Structure 1
């Protein structure tokens, strides 16, 4: 059970939430949503003591490994450093025995610290426990833990076993060789492991400090080295009223870390890691946590969104989303992307999807453009794998993988998924084969970033090449229909993944056309503005030949048009499929409830959508459609959309707000906010929903504040929900940081320089310097 804004610490109001009752049958929720990280690594928040059903996950970004030839690459679950075996008078401590009072496990979002406290009573003895944990944002390789144990009414004999446990796996898949274990000076623990296929070296370290009533204890532990494990045990007698503090500082380094040049020896890495561990151990938890706090204070200066709402959950939800966006994003290294579950769980194996370009990248474009550029450079490095996928499928250019891991890997989508409830067979996953809109999504993201930032250096180095090569793919992908005299795109999956093997998915066709037209535009502009670069890319990509093909095909690409009712067919057959009563599924408490009654093939023959499809097209290319067409299609498709994807509700919320349906817009925003943070205790077992978290920010800034980039211009059309009185947030545009403040009557913009800013507000072009205030 979760509690919001009612934690014991008053100064953390709207900055924290808590689990207030321990439920051993619902461990995954808090493990995921309370996870910690810094973009380099992510630590799932399993309890220190062990429970059946727990998932003890520690992932280091970019360290992908393939278990064997029959499985796809995934982020390996590296050694666990959080588990403690605590014994009180010879009994293993567990919340499943005894009596627990004053229980609270709280995630402090402001400072990124996990705090768990309670009183445990067992066989007449009462003991107060407090556990603290952080993953440092100031020092990316550092993890800190602190435990305080205080017997309240009688003394106890206490034994704590702690170490580095390499006996973990990815749901059974073991990604590491046995490795080497050492203990230096009876204090510094070291476990070295190497991934089986990708040969990434991991160097783990841990060390402990102990205090009794604030006084340092120097006691020799019992040392234990076992298979894939190194540990130490400490034993004490603790009198009633005394407080034992147990600190553990841990480090993780890998041979893929950017600070280690290619060819750096494992011995050099381990020496560096050991020196860092000794320094962290010497400093201790509190000073290192203070550095971490300072780093997070700068995060909130950079990103903070302030909402004055009658529903305090709204402010917490947006801060929760920003927190997770920060801890999942590898801002330190362009060679890595963002996983669909961030670094909070094994779901989707750490792979990157279109989630990044469409749902997460806008957050960084408008709040931290340097990070947005790094994420796009990851896709540039991925051209190697995208080109290989195109060749494998008989096409030219760059065909981006639906699921991406290490940039050079190409397609890494698993081929088989869950069971078919009708046939009992495993369902084939077609998205890696035929969900191809990801290629134009990447091109769109490049264009979006460039238009919003004006970063010409990025375009010259990376952007033009990505747009040209993705357009080459689409030109080769088009299929000529002689009878209709048009080019089609057949046998695909669009954003609505309940419709497989469809022809002419509107989203896919329109976005492919957009991609090719964009390449044609930049072909001409680059010829005129930078002839040397044009010639370089022409030699590399054969642009003149490609341009001839684009010109010959662009006007004949089939783009589904509105019928007599103004409805654009989602694909060639959607509007002919049968209608059923979707009321039970629209009111569902958990996603995918329609599959309790039908299998995927049956759902494929109904007018029902998993998520926004045509609506996503209107969101991305909104100026290509009239308001009347958009509204007619919204009214048609929204009732048929089950929002069984976490990506869906934010898009529908934004469009509902555009149409003036403020109540539905706010309702969908609330539902999106509750996917992870809400009360349903099984929604996040496999990890948080990274795209949905980006979508929450999009609802606020692109939706309720009405911020859009249209044709290279900044537009704003604020329309706050009835529950909100004020909204403030930072916004970067063309190299300037703007502070935006919106209330019921006024829009105020403040620039960080006197450079002139041009934008369009409620359809009216406006220029200003320094500050602008508009009444509306």
Structure 2
């Protein structure tokens, strides 16, 4: 096994989506799924190209309601390149017999290679070798180099190179009934030897321009244009055994880019001026060499090393140094698909431990994404009757709450109320990341500037969210990381009270803010003495509930019923989506001691056993190693791991607390995407937080 190569042989319709996601090529600005150049969306294959931060909003009718959804836009497809022999059919899946198919992703260089042998309806056999890159050197360029070899025929070879915007966002089955046509055609034409396509997103009105220059030695050129599509056909006489090389260089710009007169002009100019494939490849390879010198994580096991290389590769393709020039967050599913609509959740909490020590310029840019949306977060807090900044659970273009109000259960066929916007702990993740960035850089100016502002505004929000009850501060009506518990049976108002993760991390935050003010200098931070007094009081008086000698996930957790875990596993096998199973039965996980993913154990993950012990002791609670071990074992037995993040957290926590029990979770974390352990989800986009979390497991512990 070569740890730098990911290879696939043959065509398996059931695995094609997974393979496309895992062979995605990107550079932080743009990424393109590893679909075949000649493919279109057909239920098996799904070409997709995504631009960081490029969203659009459409309205759909759902369960009798008008619902707005903002999506990461599936941008025009730059890949189309196909051929035909002597006026036969254009090669496409289903139009010819595929005799051989081999794909190879070179992780070291960021090059995807396809090797094909096909036989058309007239019995002619043709070999195709294709190399593909999305430039890590120039984020606006992508290229193909294709050699087409007639093996047993002589005649006229026609090559078609196209740009296509006649597509919709349809990469996730459960969204397909919703509005997804985001691209409005503007221009499709040819200018000299360059074809150009300009579209505009329907609501956000972002212009996306593509220009392609295709070279076929000795080819006779014709161009065709339709609304939203333009093609360059070139014909050349060929002889059996002689390969014909085709090069396609594509430039992509949007109206969001800097230092351009217009997106269309910038794309045209870049396509005309771009060097050939080999020169682009050389620059691209050198750029990857520089990244790998900073990014590599090693293992003595070749199989593990391949997975580590693959996960670092996809993390860097989504969050490369080019992101430092963009206004983009951490899309939970990368730039690899349309799951979660490309939204930004809390996944940077798992990304920063790996990225911050290696690429602090990237983590600073990701924090600026949050900082630029402080006005929206402040408005959201005020609208909810609070102070400070209330960050949304799902964020997109402008930082408003993008969490859907409804979600679909495919088991029951019902649309259900979605309360996950109550995961206020996303603000705590922003604060943890700001503090982690400071720990890595030691930059006191960062604390005195926008980093400290983030910390302070999140602290102000939680200070206003908490209510003094007796000698403790309580936080009511929220959701923790678990996500299966969104309320109490019989209570109309959603949310749970005194989620331990939220309350303990709030105590942690208050101490960090006080420390940040000292480090930055009180004269450089706009905070009142009264606020500082409130922060200090909360740091020592947050409420944490206990039952049976363990931390309660939330108030009242100990009163919930025990689930018949063995019975549900016997009946359903895979119970990762226990919430859907119970709802289809007319039940709810709110009745049971059953968690989707690590919740209380997230405290061990972020703080370590010693760090958690210090906070609980400062809060006045008795705590020792026995209580820690009991708490870990208790929740280990009551978690169904319905999120890829759960295996990462459990692997890390158990490695420290129960080393012998960590291996199954480590194996699952390693295989989360490369083996698609959740059964079909990776095809809709990789799990970026889980990939980064795996890398962190093999490096130093998280910053405390």
| TM-score (ref. length: structure 1) | 0.81
Deviations 1:122-175 (A, max 9, x none): 443322111221100001000101222112222354333221111112125222
Residue pair 1:373, 1:458 contacting (<8 A) in 2 also: no
Instruction: Structure 2 unaligned segments of length 5 or more: list them.
Output: 60-65, 171-178, 487-494, 614-623
Give 2:105's aligned residue: 107
Shift of 1:300: 1.0
Which of 418, 427, 436 is 2:408 aligned to?
418
Shift of 1:331: 3.0
Number of residue pairs matched by the alignment: 660
Shift of 1:57: 1.3
CA distance in 2, matches of 1:455, 1:228: 49
Instruction: Structure 1 unaligned segments of length 5 or more: list them.
Output: 6-12, 211-215, 711-776
Q: Which moved more, 1:330-339 or 1:393-402?
A: 330-339
Q: Does 1:65 align with 2:56?
A: yes
The alpha-carbon distance between structure 1 residues 668 and 589, as it changes in their structure 2 partners (threshold 3 A), is farther
Residue pair 1:506, 1:570 contacting (<8 A) in 2 also: yes
SS of aligned partner of 2:591? coil
CA distance in 1, matches of 2:569, 2:353: 29
Alignment of 1:577-588 (within 5 A): 577-583=560-566
| TM-score (ref. length: structure 2) | 0.89
Give 2:133's aligned residue: 134
Give 1:701's aligned residue: 699
Alignment of 1:79-118 (within 5 A): 79-89=76-86, 90-96=88-94, 98-118=96-116
Shift of 1:465: 1.2
Give 1:460's aligned residue: 448
The alpha-carbon distance between structure 1 residues 553 and 304, as it changes in their structure 2 partners (threshold 3 A), is closer
Which of 622, 628, 631 is 1:630 aligned to?
628
Give 1:651's aligned residue: 649
Give 1:349's aligned residue: 341
Give 1:258's aligned residue: 258
Residue pair 1:330, 1:336 contacting (<8 A) in 2 also: no
Q: Does 1:364 align with 2:355?
A: yes
Q: Does 1:430 align with 2:419?
A: yes
Q: Does 1:298 align with 2:290?
A: yes
Give 1:598's aligned residue: 582
Give 1:750's aligned residue: none
Give 2:319's aligned residue: 329
Shift of 1:698: 1.6
The alpha-carbon distance between structure 1 residues 370 and 586, as it changes in their structure 2 partners (threshold 3 A), is farther
CA distance in 1, matches of 2:157, 2:406: 48
The alpha-carbon distance between structure 1 residues 653 and 285, as it changes in their structure 2 partners (threshold 3 A), is same
Deviations 1:661-712 (A, max 9, x none): 24x323312211212112667241211000110111121114xxxx3434xx
CA distance in 1, matches of 2:228, 2:574: 39
Q: Does 1:78 align with 2:85?
A: no
SS of aligned partner of 2:232? strand
Deviations 1:629-678 (A, max 9, x none): 2221111111221111011111111111112524x323312211212112
Shift of 1:99: 4.2
The alpha-carbon distance between structure 1 residues 72 and 699, as it changes in their structure 2 partners (threshold 3 A), is same
Shift of 1:97: 5.5
Q: Does 1:665 align with 2:662?
A: yes
Q: Does 1:19 align with 2:11?
A: no
Residue pair 2:253, 2:266 contacting (<8 A) in 1 also: no
RMSD: 2.3
Alignment of 1:147-546 (within 5 A): 147-155=146-154, 157-171=156-170, 173-185=180-192, 187-210=193-216, 216-217=217-218, 219-260=219-260, 265-266=261-262, 269-280=263-274, 283-309=275-301, 312-329=302-319, 331-332=321-322, 333-356=325-348, 358-406=349-397, 408-419=398-409, 421-422=411-412, 424-432=413-421, 434-481=422-469, 485-500=471-486, 501-523=495-517, 525=518, 530-534=521-525, 537-538=526-527, 543-546=528-531
CA distance in 2, matches of 1:584, 1:239: 67
Give 2:28's aligned residue: 39
SS of aligned partner of 2:699? helix
CA distance in 2, matches of 1:158, 1:585: 59
The alpha-carbon distance between structure 1 residues 271 and 509, as it changes in their structure 2 partners (threshold 3 A), is same
CA distance in 1, matches of 2:358, 2:119: 48
Residue pair 1:384, 1:410 contacting (<8 A) in 2 also: no
Residue pair 2:506, 2:539 contacting (<8 A) in 1 also: no
Give 1:573's aligned residue: 556
CA distance in 1, matches of 2:25, 2:337: 11
Shift of 1:412: 1.6
Residue pair 2:143, 2:247 contacting (<8 A) in 1 also: yes
Residue pair 2:391, 2:399 contacting (<8 A) in 1 also: no
Give 2:602's aligned residue: 616
Shift of 1:15: 0.5
